[in-house]
């Protein structure tokens, strides 16, 4: 074999092929074939429900008969609002409800709110004076995503006599399974002292020397109505602002004008006499606001007036008198 390899090139080829073949056989015999088995494994986890939370509270105020919500009427926590005189007003509050399970968790939930004075609890019956409620606030979010939804609650036709001082917006929420953390945000409604007053007190046509009025000689009976159009209890003052009532001929001193809190009181017995400066001679009126009804005696008051006509005057006489309501108690 070896001699043939030295003499014949083809024998070399045969020998080499034989050697390579033996090597291949050896490799196959030495290799081990492995089987593969794939198994599917499922991972599981249960995510507990999260309580919704409230943030970014802002409340806006406007008179009820005004259609648009102006940015200038909006306030954040701790700020104040001055209510209008004799006009109802509305409150609209926006806030963000966050649920760490995702906004979708709130689709089966609810949000309600109470607007109440700090002197009463949030669950006080709605009484138009210290407590208002909204049982169904609405979702006003345009684009949904993440964990947040913006809700809006409105409280309409809040009475102008609703108490001044601290007010709170209390929001309760639920995602359908978990109650949210209640949110309480404070605002201030300022005390508003204002009155509506009879514009003219007309004693009629009287002769020199007469007292009272043309319709009731000798008595103070011309009524002047004062209506409390604010949210505080008020006392009343009157101010002639001048020493005399000017007439076409000469003038009448203001102390010739008398008033009383009882109709048909004799001029000589009337409890008050008009003064040049602010004054109120009779007992304090303490005119309540309209919380007990504006048609009742606690919401408005009448004072009764009469005049003495001295000699030396004639023609038409006029005097502009200021009625002032001053805050007695909140």
In this prediction, residues 134-155 reach a mean pLDDT of 82
From residue 40, alpha-carbon distances to 3, 37, 43, 270, 292 in Å are 64, 10, 10, 103, 75
Nearest to 257 by CA among 267, 266, 248: 267
Q: Which of 61-65, 262-266, 296-300 comes out lowest in average pLDDT?
A: 296-300
141 and 101 assigned to the same domain: yes
CA distance 265 to 213: 12
The domain in which residue 127 lies consists of: 53-189
pLDDT of residue 2: 44
Burial 158-171 (b: 16+ CB within 10 A, else e): bbbbbbbeebbbbb
Same domain, 175 and 296: no
Say yes or no: 273 and 174 in one domain: no
CATH number at residue 144: 2.60.40.10
**Averaged over 319-327, what is the pLDDT?**
93
pLDDT value, residue 11 = 43
Q: Per DSSP, what are the bridge partners of residue 238?
A: 279, 323
- Quick one: 238 and 110 in the same domain? no
Between 311 and 277, whose confidence is greater?
Answer: 311
Say how far residue 288 (Cα) sits from the centre of its chain. 23
Mean pLDDT for 304-326 is: 96
The pLDDT, as a whole number, for residue 145 is 64
The percentage of the chain sitting over the pLDDT mark of 90, rounded to a whole number, equals 55
Residue 214 counted as domain residue: yes
In the chain, count H helices and then E strands. 2, 24
- Is residue 232 one of the residues assigned to a domain? yes
- Which of 2-11, 92-101, 259-268 is predicted with the least confidence, judged by mean pLDDT? 2-11
Checking if the pLDDT of 157 tops 50, the result is: yes
- Among 125, 154, 189, the domain boundary falls at 189
Question: How many domains in the chain?
Answer: 2
Does a structural domain hold residue 38? no
Domain boundary among 163, 189, 215: 189
51-66 pLDDT per residue, tens? 889 999 999 999 998 8
More confident residue, 110 or 260: 260
The 3-class secondary structure across 3-53, one letter per residue, is: HHHHHCHHHHHHHHHHHHHHHHHHHHHHCCCCCCCCCCCCCCCCCCCCCCE
10 within a domain of the structure (yes/no): no
Tell me the pairing of strands 165-174 and 110-117: antiparallel
Question: Residue 206 is part of a domain; what is its CATH number?
Answer: 2.60.40
Mean pLDDT across the stretch 233-255? 95
The pTM assigned to this predicted structure is 0.77
- Region 197-201: mean pLDDT is 94
The length of the chain, given as a count of residues: 330
The mean per-residue pLDDT over the stretch 269-281 comes to 92
Residue 29 lies in a domain: no
DSSP string covering 244-298, please? EEEEEESEEEGGGEEEESSTTEEGGG-SEE--SSSB--S----B--GGG-TTSTT
pLDDT value at residue 3: 41
Looking at the structure, tell me whether residues 200 and 174 fall in a common domain. Answer: no
Both 108 and 137 in a single domain?
yes
Q: Cβ distance 109 to 176 under 8 Å?
A: yes
Residue 5 lies in a domain: no
| Rounded-to-integer distance, Cα 133 and Cα 33, Å | 78
Amino acid 144: pLDDT: 62
C-alpha torsion sign, points 283, 284, 287, 292: negative
Q: In the 8-state DSSP scheme, what is residue 2?
A: H
Tell me which residue of 194, 186, 223, 234 sits closest to 81, measured CA to CA. 186
pLDDT band at 23 (very low <50, low <70, confident <90, very high): very low
- Average pLDDT score, the chain: 85
Position 22 in a domain: no
């Amino acid at each position: 074999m070896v001699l043939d390899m030295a003499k014949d090139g083809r024998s070399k080829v045969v020998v080499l092929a034989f050697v390579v073949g033996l090597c291949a056989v050896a490799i196959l015999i030495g290799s081990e074939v492995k089987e593969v088995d794939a198994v599917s494994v499922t991972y599981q986890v249960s995510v507990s429900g999260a309580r919704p939370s409230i943030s970014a509270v802002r409340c806006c105020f406007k008179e009820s008969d005004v259609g648009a919500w102006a940015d200038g009427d909006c306030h954040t926590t701790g700020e104040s609002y001055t209510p209008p005189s004799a006009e109802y007003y509305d409150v609209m509050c926006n806030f963000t409800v966050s649920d760490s399970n995702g906004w979708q968790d709130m689709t089966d939930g609810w949000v309600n709110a109470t607007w109440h004075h700090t002197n009463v609890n949030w669950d006080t019956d709605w009484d138009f004076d210290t407590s208002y409620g909204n049982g169904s606030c609405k979702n006003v979010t345009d684009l949904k995503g993440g964990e947040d939804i913006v809700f809006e609650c409105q409280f309409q036709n809040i009475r102008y006599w609703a108490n001044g001082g601290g007010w709170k917006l209390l929001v309760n929420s639920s995602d359908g399974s978990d109650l949210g953390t209640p949110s309480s945000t404070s605002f201030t409604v300022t005390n508003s002292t204002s009155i509506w007053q009879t514009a003219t007190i007309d004693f009629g046509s009287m002769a020199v020397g007469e007292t009272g009025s043309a319709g009731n000689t000798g008595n103070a009976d011309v009524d002047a109505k004062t209506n409390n159009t604010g949210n505080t209890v008020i006392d009343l003052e009157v101010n002639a602002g001048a020493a005399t009532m000017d007439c076409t001929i000469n003038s009448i001193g203001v102390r010739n004008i008398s008033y009383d809190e009882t109709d048909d009181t004799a001029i000589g017995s009337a409890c008050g006499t008009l003064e040049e400066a602010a004054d109120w001679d009779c007992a304090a009126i303490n005119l309540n606001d309209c919380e007990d009804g504006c048609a009742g005696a606690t919401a408005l008051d009448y004072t009764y007036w009469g005049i003495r006509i001295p000699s030396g005057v004639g023609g038409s006489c006029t005097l502009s008198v200021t009625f002032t309501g001053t805050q007695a108690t909140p």
